[in-house]
Amino acid sequence: TLVVGAGFFVPVLDEASRGEAEATLFRSLGIGADSRVDRMINRRCSRWLTRLLIRLPVTPNQVTLVSLALGLAAAWMLWSATPVSALAGLILYMLAVVVDHSDGEVARLTFQESAFGKQLDFAVDTAIHAALVLGMGVTAGHVGGSVMVVAGAGAASGVILSALFARFLPEEAARDERVVWVLKGLGTRDLFYLVLVAFLFGLWYAPPMLPGLVVLLAVGSQGYWLTCLLRRRVARG
């Protein structure tokens, strides 16, 4: 007897409909925060990985820790990087992003979502991006001096603060649609990919541009949390 329930429902009557139901389920695994690159590339890759992981005795949090290991390895490749090691770092970062998508997919498919897992995923994602920009600062220091390490640390702190404000005080920046549009554009993973590609290009062809890129990161990474803080103070009068 076919019983129609509320919400997401696909009847499975034979092997063909079972395959279509599974495909529909996997296509629904994306989230609203996915960027264009996430939708076009990362999710397509993570779904293949997730199909494998849900058949293994692994938890979503363990998958998150694998993402952390890959992300920190990517940051290490950018620390005093050569063009070859920076390319390896970019590839490792891309793998870390795919695994990062898979941990949430595994959690949703296996009903293992948890508050701790959500916090762990947030902490890992923030730590990876902060470590990456710090590594860029260290590498730029070979061209621009020790001040570039300070700039890299400033960029890392901006990444961390902006992530914290975005998570715990999102309403402060959401009072103006134009501000939201600009800040979301500055905080997408797509833009971070562009930064990494620009960094790699600079190492290969124009090392003198690296200090300028790191300074731009150090300034730009402060945008979200400073906007939130300013709007919060204005609201309080």
> Between the CA atoms of 170, 173, 177 and 183, what dihedral angle is there, to the nearest 10 degrees?
-90
Written as six digits, the tokens of 38 are: 């996430």
**121-133: pLDDT as tens digits:** 999 999 999 999 9
* C-beta separation of 46 from 99 below 8 A: yes
Return the pLDDT at 179: 46
Q: How confident is the model at residue 160 (pLDDT cuts 50, 70, 90)?
A: very high
Give the number of residues written for the chain: 237
**171-227: pLDDT as tens digits:** 554 455 444 444 454 457 888 899 999 999 999 999 999 999 999 999 988 887 887
- Residue 65: what residue type? L
> How many CA within 13 A on the CB side of residue 35?
16
* C-beta separation of 199 from 86 below 8 A: yes
What does the alpha-carbon distance between residue 190 and residue 194 come to, in Å, rounded to a whole number? 6
What does the alpha-carbon distance between residue 98 and residue 193 come to, in Å, rounded to a whole number? 13
pTM: 0.85
